[in-house]
Amino acid sequence: MGISYIEKKKIFQMDTENTTYLIGLSPEGYVGHIYYGRRLKGEGSNYLLRMNEAPYTPSVNQREKSSFLDFFPTEYPTGGIGDYRESCLDVRNERGSIGSELFFKSYHIRKGKDGLEGLPASFGSEKDVETLEILCEDSILGLAVTLSYSAFEKCDIITRSVKVKNIGEQHLKLEKVYSACLDMDNKEFEMLTLAGSWARERCIQRGKIRFGKQLVSSVKGESSHQEHPFMALVTEGTAQETGEVYAMNFIYSGNFIAQTEMSQFGNIRMVMGIHSDYFCWNLRPGETFQAPEAVLAYSAEGLGRMTRNFHDFYREHLIRSPYKYGKRPVLINNWEATYFDFDSEKLLGIAREAKKAGIEMLVMDDGWFGKRNFDDSSLGDWTVNEEKITSGLPDLVEKVNKIGLKFGIWFEPEMISPDSELYRKHPDWAIQIAGRCPSQSRAQYVLDLSRPEAADYAYRCVADILNSAPIAYVKWDMNRQLCDIGSSYLDKESQGELLHRYMLGVYRMQERLVQEFPDLLLENCSGGGARFDPGMLYYSPQIWCSDDVDALERLKIQEGTALIYPLSSIGAHVGDCPNHIVGRNTPFETRGHVALAGTFGYELDITKIGEEERGQIPGQVEIYHKYQELVQKGDYYRLASWSMEKPYDCWEVAAKDASCALVTYIQVLAQPNMHSRVIYLRGLEDGGQYRLEGTEEVYSGEELMKCGYLIPSEKGDFRSWLYCFIRCD
């Protein structure tokens, strides 16, 4: 197990519990990709590098070097020298030409793994992970490129990142630095990605791969509502339990590209990295650029195994918060209850009612600062509006605490309203192209976080408020995408660095926050779920999943999100009805069950909802407390999908020791005269006996998994049931 170098074959072999990754060196020193897939019991070999397909190998026939480069399966393709497929590295030299060629120089294998400077990154102890670093050089450019691979044995995950150093004399420009590439033979793959829009994030889409390039990407300065830094190639017919899956996910929250290209020869190149549009990084002699980390998962047991591997990996090796496995307080957020129309009295009224229902924290959302009574002003002026919060923030927090609730608060620190004191004082702190009036979005501009004093100011505003009162939770929002990419702080040579420097600024601010306030519960958010990505998970254990809290829309959104991310990270609340976005009515109970597959909380005016619904809250809160540990730590199984195939939706969370399993069944559309409502549980002990909680019914694990559980026939659309099977032998 682990990583080894097989000298006689010039092969690096990385083994995790169920996967093997093979890298080989050509006689010239090109670093080639041999294999990634099911675990090899023995040593691999290098025939898949096709080095015998002379006359194309340059050492045999330089005349056909371009033909060689254009088919050679490489670990890290460079642009400009004859490989016409997508490159991962484009470097412009001082004379203005693009071209680079990397040759193996040395390697280093060790236990453990380092972080990445300034960037979120996975971590693990010496017993969890081994790291291989392959150093390559382009001696003509004076460029050293380190390809890093970390093999997480138990999770079947391999992470990759790339570091580029200028070891020469010229001023180089990096015009593209991707983080990972997989050159593979095509197994008749289909591509699976997550796509959507505001209030419709991360819905699963799937289709056959064709010749040419197919990609998902963002150039919006954030990972985005629309597309997601994730791509999976799956063999035909891949389902939850069967089929092969090659997946990549990106630990980054800004512009990205995830692309698969089927070449003229029918093989596949899959790449992932920072999008090269609007990107150009100066690499002066002695300087280093660190590209973010990509996460690779291979599963020979369908999508379900991939999902559980990602969940385990993110829970164990990315999320750092003390709340990762801790109970999160059940919160009530006033956004959909009041929007901007609130004051201390209204909030205290909500808090009192919430306390009676067993809710544990009040979150004051947007509108408490500056002159913000609508979304068109005051971002940047982070002083409490005492017309609304009449006796000041410390007093309000104290009163809420006295009622028996914790207090949480909303910020949008990365923004600046044109109508704000901050903008009047520092118009140059907004991202904009000199001489051009920047585009507003939600009546706001974006702060130039490459400018240290702007980032420092925004951070201090947050920290000062947190120091002024016992605040337990922060919702860090970000409500617009970036454009007009210009900075009055950076010189003209460095404008192409702005988008990445912006992300580094966000990460630096959040790192300061989690270091200065280690007990704070941080929830990231971006106009709903536009920055629900592994980068943000490194700082916050939960992310607001979508502004759409309609229970049905959430089925699709949460199914797509949970394909990669653990339920413990999915911000999910019970909303009001008719739903504010789609106008749909769904039963309160169903809304509760759907929110239970996430962090759980409320997004409604508890003082105004009907008595009957309010009366259900204590029971829902109790259910949350009862199952939250299971939901947070268990294995997630997708048993049926309404969005893909069935009139119902169903998922299960099974305890890792198979002691119990919680099944959520949502009858989206009732069907008459339909007897096929059997669901097949997973993750139980074959020989174990399981009692269905609240009944005397006992089933063997084997029966529940093989014969299935027959869901009782009931009438009504949008209804839902929880079934908890507890081991009783």
Q: Which residues bind ligand DGJ (CB under 6 A)?
A: 335, 365-366, 410, 477, 479, 525, 527-528, 544, 547
Q: Sort 512 into a burial class: Cβ within 10 Å, 0-12 / 13-18 / 19+.
A: middle
Catalytic residue among 128, 547, 548, 649: 547
Q: Is the dihedral of CA 90, 94, 95, 96 positive or negative?
A: positive
Residue type (1 letter), 490: L
User: Is 477 a residue of the active site?
Assistant: yes
Residue 633, phi then psi, degrees to nearest 5:
-110, -10
> Residue 467: helix, strand or coil by DSSP?
helix
Minimum CB separation of residue 479 from ligand DGJ in Å reads 5
Minimum CB separation of residue 230 from ligand DGJ in Å reads 21
Residue type (1 letter), 63: R
């990762």: which residue's tokens?
A: 324
Strand partners, 133: 108, 148
d(CA 567, CA 569): 5
> Residue 50: helix, strand or coil by DSSP?
coil
The answer to whether 56 and 265 are in contact (CB under 8 A) is: no
The answer to whether 719 and 685 are in contact (CB under 8 A) is: no
Minimum CB separation of residue 559 from ligand DGJ in Å reads 20
Catalytic residue among 477, 548, 576, 605: 477
Minimum CB separation of residue 377 from ligand DGJ in Å reads 12
Minimum CB separation of residue 477 from ligand DGJ in Å reads 5
Minimum CB separation of residue 586 from ligand DGJ in Å reads 19
Peptide bond into 55 cis (omega under 30): yes
How far does the chain reach from its first CA to its final CA, in angstroms? 36
Minimum CB separation of residue 571 from ligand DGJ in Å reads 9
Minimum CB separation of residue 620 from ligand DGJ in Å reads 20
CA atoms within 13 A on the CB side of 686: 1
Residue 654, phi then psi, degrees to nearest 5:
-105, 140
Minimum CB separation of residue 329 from ligand DGJ in Å reads 17
Residue nearest to ligand DGJ (CB): 366
Long-range contacts, stretch 344-349, CB < 8 angstroms, 24+ apart: 344/388, 344/389, 344/390, 344/391, 344/396, 344/399, 345/390, 347/396, 347/400, 348/396, 348/399, 348/400, 348/403, 349/607
Residue count of the chain, please give it.
729
Question: Among candidates 510, 548, 438, 626, which has minimal Cα distance to 201?
Answer: 548
Minimum CB separation of residue 375 from ligand DGJ in Å reads 6
d(CA 236, CA 234): 6
Strand partners, 567: none
d(CA 602, CA 351): 12
CA distances in angstroms from 569 to 86, 520, 536, 537, 632, listed in the order given: 34, 15, 10, 8, 9
């070891």: which residue's tokens?
A: 167
Give me 112's structure tokens. 């453990």
Question: Among candidates 346, 304, 376, which has minimal Cα distance to 564?
Answer: 304
Whose Cβ is closer to ligand DGJ: residue 199's or residue 567's?
A: 199
Whose Cβ is closer to ligand DGJ: residue 366's or residue 605's?
A: 366
Peptide bond into 578 cis (omega under 30): yes
What string of H, E and C letters represents the secondary structure of 645-679? CCCEEEEEEECCCCCEEEEEEEECCCCCCCCCCEE
What value does the CA radius of gyration of the chain take, rounded to a whole number of Å? 27
Catalytic positions, please? Answer: 477, 547
